[in-house]
Each structure stands twice: as C-alpha cells, then as structure tokens.
A and B are shown apart, each in its own frame.
Chain A
Amino acid sequence: MAAALLVAGCGDKGQNYTVSTSSATSVSPSELPDHQAPPDRLVFRVVIKDGTVTPTNDQFEAAVGQPIIFQIDSDVADELHVHSNPEHSFPIEAKPNQMFQFTVDVPGKVDVELHELNKTVATITVR
C-alpha cells in the first residue's frame, strides 16, 4: 500500500505526493511544544486519468476537526463524496490541481468516493 499518510511537516515518507503547506500558518507546528496547537492539515493527492484512479482503497488516520484537503488532478468531471456525518460532496472538474477542504467532526471510518467512477479512494479513520 502506498504511503498515503501525509502529515504536513513529516512528509518525507511519500515521495510520490507533494505536501502543500499553506502560508497561512506562520509558525511551523514543530516549533511549538504545546500539544494544544491546532492539528496539521492532511493533504491527500488523487490522480484521475483515463478512467483509472490512483490511489484506491487507501487508508489513513485523522483527528476529529483536523482539516483534510483532497488535491485532485482529473481529466473528467466527477463528484467527490465524503461519507462522514454529515456528508460532504464536491464537484470535480476536468482540470489539474483542484483543492477540496473539509473537516470530520464525528469520529468514525469515513469513506471518500468518486461517485461516477464508483471507486473508493480512501478510508479515513477519524479519532
């Protein structure tokens, strides 16, 4: 299974993915000893090309309330469904580098699916 767990700040594992840290965070969380600091954002990269999705059925963990970003390159229009409580749905266009951000506020296992292609991209275990 590909290294999909990409926490900004420790992204050395996933050479296939880029980590985008926003300029909005002025202080790097690693400089803060305080564990109450807001959780890092998770960035998960998905490529949809010629009807195939990479990755599929991936797994990663996130914290309740942690911002999760799906960065998607696609050559077709689709819908990204996030099966959390409540659910989120994002329209995907046929263009590279689209970003969708959401948080999950109720713990559980959350499937993220591409509706038209009928593929589960990832399951996020939110604790």
Chain B
Amino acid sequence: MNPGSVTVIAHGLGGSADLPIPLTYALIGAAWALTFTFAVVALAWKRPRFDPEKPGRELPSWVTATVDAPVTRWTLGIVGLLLTVWVGFAAFFGPQNGDNPLPGVFYVLMWVGLVAASLLLGPVWRVLSPVRTVHRMLGGKSLRNYPEALGYWPAALGLFAFVWLELASPDPGSLAAIRNWLLIYLVVTLAGAFVCGARWCARADPFEVYGIVVSRLAALRRNRDGRIAIGNPFDHLPSLPVRPGIVAVLSVLLGSTAFDSFSARPQWRSFIGETAGSAATATLINTAGLFAFACVVAGTFWLAARATGGVDREQRRALPGQMAHSLIPIVVGYVFAHYLTYLIERGQQTVYLLLGMDVNVNYFLSLHPSVLATLKVGFVVAGHIAGVIAAHDRALRLLPKAHQLTGQLAMMLAMVGYTFTGLYLLFGG
C-alpha cells in the first residue's frame, strides 16, 4: 500500500508494547499520590523554601572552563552535524525497510533520549543542534530580532507536529513521512535562525525547548555567574522562563503521552475502525483526539492555577505561567513511565542498526514485568509528588496569606487528576 512503509503500528517502531500494570500497583500508586498531596497542602512548610537565586554547590572551575571552551563547543557541534549527516544518509540510502535506523533515531533517541540526556546533563540540544552549528559556521548573522510576543508558541506548534506524526498521522513508520517531517523541520529552523538569530533556536526549535524545559529538573545547573554547580532541583525548577506558550508546550507533552496510552486501547481502535471509512478520516479523528487531550491538560491547568482568591486581574492572568514549572516533574515522570522500555530496548536496537552491528537486544525490563510495573508506578508517583511540592512552594510565594491553603486546592486536584488518569491508562482500563 505504501512503498516506503515499515510498519503501520503506532510509534512506527513495531515490536510489542508494555504489558498493562496490575490493578494493585495502580491502586497503591494512586493511594500514595493522594495521601502525599494532602499531607503537603496541610502539613508541609508554610514559608517558601525554594529559590532559583540560591546558588548551587560549585563544581571545580576547570569543569566550567572545559565545558565552555570554544574547542568543546565546536567539537560537540560538529559531532552533532556529522550525526545528522550520517542519519540523513541512512534515511535516504539505507535499507528502505525495518532495518533502517531512522524511525528509532527519530522516535526514541531524539524524543525520549533527549529527555534522559537533558535531565542528566542539562540542555544538550543547544550544543548538538545541527542548525545552531550551521548558523554559527556561516557567521551567526540575523536580519531582525526574535518577536518576543511569539514566546514559545512556535515550539509548542513544532512539538504538536511531532506528536501528530507519531500518534495521529496515517503511517508513522513510513520513512518518507519521517524524512519529510525532518526536512521541513530543518528548513523552518534554519530559516528562523538566519532571520531571527540563534534566539529562534532557543524559543522555536521544538527539541531545544523540550530540552530546556526538562533540564530545569536537573541537579546540574549554572549559577548566576555562569559557574556550573550542583544543587537542589527544586531550586532549579522555578528558573523556567515564563514566556507566552509555556503552558501549551507542557500541555502538548503531557496530553500526547496520555493520548498514546489511550489510542492503543482496543475500544478506541474499534471506534476508529467502525467510524472512519478511510485513512484520511481516521487521521482526522486521531488528530482531533490528540488535540483534545492537549487542550484538556492546558484548560484544567489554566483554570486550576487561576482558581484562588485575593489576587487582582493582572496577577491572576500571570498565575498559569508562574505555576507552569510544577508540571515539569509530572511530564518527565510520565514520559519515563511510558517510554522507559522504548528508550532502553528500542534504543539498543537503534544504536545497533546505526552502527550496522548484529547484536541481540537485551530485554531485561520486558522480561521482568513486575520490576517494570514497579518502576512505572514509581516514576508517575515520584513525578506527581515533585510536582505537588513545587506547586505548593510556589503558591506560598505567589498567593496572599489568607488564600494560601484554599488557593492551592484546585491545582492539587488537577494534579491528582493527571496522575489518576495516567495510572488508569497505564493499567489499561
């Protein structure tokens, strides 16, 4: 039907999906999440403790010097560029079947691997981005400034385009579709960089923005003077820049991961099969579903952040953005719960395909379903608890004294809602 297609399954990667987690695991996770939430609201500290200005413990100065040395930057940039060329070569001239590493590179290494790398090391896409390297090689000039009013909206759109290809497009595994997506991405990002400068990459490149968002949960960070330091991630989280579209970015990430679970359910598949007469209608319904999931997350978060007394109009408008960082741990926890086996097992497979090695993939996680289920529930609950703590602390800083308890309730309920939905979807309904 489709000459360039590899498989027609969601993710375009083939292979099996994780077993649903057992009901008891989901219930225990939900009970912990609920208990902890109300313990935090009612019993935890009453004065804000986390401060993005608090410097972390400095690492030796040679670390910063090495990381910032132009040699390091250029080397890493050129490595990123060479990797891009290599993957591009494989995409066009490699085997046009399931042995092509492109879907794995795209859906596993770039999407999930980026989260893991950004969490451990900080925003690595900045140094690896081929667009940034090309832009710098050609003199780094720009025609005008980045329009500040756009904020992160172009990135939110780019992220939606990514999850659309993965979860709603007719054939996510098609090499041609992935190639086209990447070519459009490269053209748009390069054009943006040459028109608006490197700031385009920082605000509009979906991968870089995803990396920046996730890196706020990292222990490694930079102090105000630029020194690389290690500190409490809760101090780092509130340093997320609040710009237009930041809630949309996080909502697309959380909503799409939930839709990924949801759309694999047999009820949804049967519904699509019965309702949609053609592949185009199926794509439309899936697109609407994906969009609805992102909108539900955005809408509930926006409402919950604003649902407090004692603030004026202006402050209320600012609240969703100021609370947005508290969604980061929930997103990261859910992404790991959902894609851990993809990262570890498909990641191995992709690397072997790229290197042309014929090595057997180690399926340790899939072979131990109870370990995997424990890890998944652990990630979701840990993400939830961290999100609740971050939101509580921020509420203490933002809300007037008289409304600090009641003003948090809606946000806590929204977060409990996300986590219960997440666990329910992992359990499989």
Bound pair (A, B): yes
Chain A contact residues, CB within 8 Å of chain B:
56-57, 59, 81, 83-87, 104, 106-111, 113, 115-116, 118-120, 123, 125-127
Identify A109's interface contact among B7, B14, B17, B273, CB under 8 A.
B17
Whether B366 contacts A57 by the Cβ 8 Å rule is: no
Contact A113 B15, beta carbon cutoff 8 Å? no
| Contact code string B297-321 (vs A, CB < 8 Å = 1, else 0) | 0000000000000000000000000
Count of B interface residues, CB-CB < 8 Å: 24
By a CB distance below 8 angstroms, the chain B residues around A85 are: 15-16, 345, 361, 363, 366
**A110 touching B266, Cβ below 8 Å:** no
List residues of chain A with CB within 8 A of the CB of B15. 83-87, 108
> Would you call B369 and A87 a contact (CB within 8 A)?
no
Which B residue sits closest to A58, measured CB to CB? B266
Give A92 to B135 CA distance when docked, in angstroms.
51
Is B18 close to A, CB under 8 A? yes
Q: Report if B19 contacts A (CB, 8 A).
A: yes
22 contacts between A and B (CB under 8 A): A59-B266, A86-B15, A87-B14, A87-B15, A106-B16, A106-B363, A107-B19, A107-B367, A108-B15, A108-B18, A108-B366, A109-B16, A109-B17, A111-B9, A113-B7, A113-B8, A113-B9, A115-B1, A115-B8, A120-B269, A125-B19, A125-B20
Interchain pairs with CB closer than 8 A, number: 71
Q: Would you give the 0/1 interface string for B7-48, flagging 1 where the beta carbon is closer than 8 Å to chain A?
A: 111000011111110000000000000000000000000000
Chain B neighbourhood of A84, CB < 8 A: 15-16
Alpha-carbon distance A119/B363, docked complex (angstroms): 27
- In the bound complex, do residue B369 and residue A57 qualify as a contact, i.e. CB atoms below 8 Å apart? no
A126 CB → nearest B CB, Å:
7
Residues of B with Cβ closer than 8 Å to A? Answer: 1, 7-9, 14-20, 98, 264, 266, 269-270, 273, 279, 345, 361, 363, 366-367, 369
**In the complex, what's the smallest C-beta–C-beta distance from B6 to chain A, in angstroms?**
10
Nearest B residue to A104 by beta-carbon distance? B16
Expressed in whole angstroms, the Cα–Cα distance for A113 and B8 within the complex equals 8
Task: Determine whether the beta carbon of B273 is less than 8 Å from that of A83.
Answer: no
Assess the A57–B269 pair: CB atoms within 8 A.
yes
- Nearest residue (CB) in B for A123 is B266
**Least Cβ–Cβ distance between B272 and chain A, in angstroms:** 9
A109–B19 CB distance below 8 A: yes
A123 to B17: give the CA distance in the assembly, Å.
Answer: 10
Report which of A119, A123, A127 forms a contact with B369, defined as CB distance below 8 A.
Answer: A127
A118 contacts which chain B residues (CB < 8 A)?
1, 8, 279
A118 and B270 CA atoms in complex are apart in Å by 13
Give Cα A126 to B20, complex, Å: 11
Cβ of A81 and Cβ of B7 under 8 Å apart?
yes
- What 8 A-B pairs come out closest when comparing CB atoms? A108-B16, A109-B17, A110-B16, A57-B270, A106-B363, A57-B269, A106-B366, A85-B15
Q: Which residues in B have their C-beta under 8 angstroms from that of A81?
A: 7, 14
- With a cutoff of 8 Å between Cβ atoms, the chain B residues found around residue A86 in the complex are 15
Could you say which residues of chain A place their CB within 8 Å of the CB of B17?
108-109, 111
CA separation between A120 and B14, bound complex, in Å? 13
- The reply to whether A126 and B269 form a contact with Cβ atoms under 8 Å apart is no
Contact call A57/B14, Cβ cutoff below 8 A: no
| Complex-state Cα separation, A125 to B428, whole angstroms | 12
Q: Whole-angstrom distance from the CB of A105 to the nearest CB of chain B? A: 9
